[in-house]
Amino acid sequence: MFSKLIKQPLFKRFISYDALFSQTIKSPTNYVINLDTLRKENRQLLLQNREDSVKTEEINDTYKNLSDDFLRYILYTNNLFNNNIEFGGLDSDPRFNKINDFEFLEEVMDTMEQTDNISNIEELETMKHNVEKTCIDLKMGIERDFEAKNFEDSLEKFMKFKYLNNVKKHIDQRIEVVEELEG
């Protein structure tokens, strides 16, 4: 399935991410992580390895990848399913941009339209909060799919998460516009 996606690996690792950040990542399928714990563990690891520039670079790269939801998805996918997907591969391969749930896509389009017509910041904040709750549910679902080693379902959830992340950005932009109009 991924023969066309195999390129240069995105992550050069000498030690696995779950072994390196063992306080934050309880298992290799632990997709939902506490970013505060990750930051603290990163700081601790950097202090312990400050004399070793190669190890410090590895720690920084792994931290960057783990702290970003999208890079973490690729990292986990590469690890769990023995893939070598680059971050750019998500945008260039149509399988990573296709959602078959037309009801979901319709909801996304409706939400975007509604956002453009709302001029009340509280309504926009409520809408954003609802989108964020759905994103949290999707991330939890991705973790369950990783535990079950179900790539197809995790990919479907990830694509929805990607779309909803764009909706959140759109809402944030609308909030800025409304604040400027009110100010």
Q: Give the CA dihedral 59, 141, 110, 181, nearest 10 degrees.
A: -40
Distance CA 21, CA 94 (A): 33
**Phi/psi at 150 (5° precision):** -105, 90
CA 87 and chain centroid, separation: 11
Q: According to the model, what pLDDT value does residue 90 have?
A: 62
Look up the pTM and report it.
Answer: 0.76
Distance CA 183, CA 177 (A): 10
Domain at 98-182: CATH code: 1.20.1280.20
Residue 178 exposed, middle or buried by CB count within 10 Å (0-12, 13-18, 19+): middle
Q: Which parts of the chain have pLDDT scores under 50?
A: 1-14
Q: According to the model, what pLDDT value does residue 151 have?
A: 84
**Phi/psi at 172 (5° precision):** -60, -40
DSSP assignments along 139-182, one per residue? HHHHHHHHHTT-HHHHHHHHHHHHHHHHHHHHHHHHHHHHHHHH
Please state the domain extents for the chain.
Answer: 17-94, 98-182
Q: According to the model, what pLDDT value does residue 8 have?
A: 35
Q: According to the model, what pLDDT value does residue 4 have?
A: 37
Q: Which string of b and e fits 105-135 if b means at least 16 CB within 10 Å?
A: eebbeebeeebeebeeeeebeebbeebeebb
Q: Which class is 17-94 in CATH? A: mainly alpha
Yes or no: say if 28 and 76 are a contact pair by the CB < 8 Å rule.
yes
Single-letter amino acid code for the residue at 15:
I
Yes or no: say if 76 and 146 are a contact pair by the CB < 8 Å rule.
yes
**Phi/psi at 21 (5° precision):** -110, 60
Give the number of residues written for the chain: 183
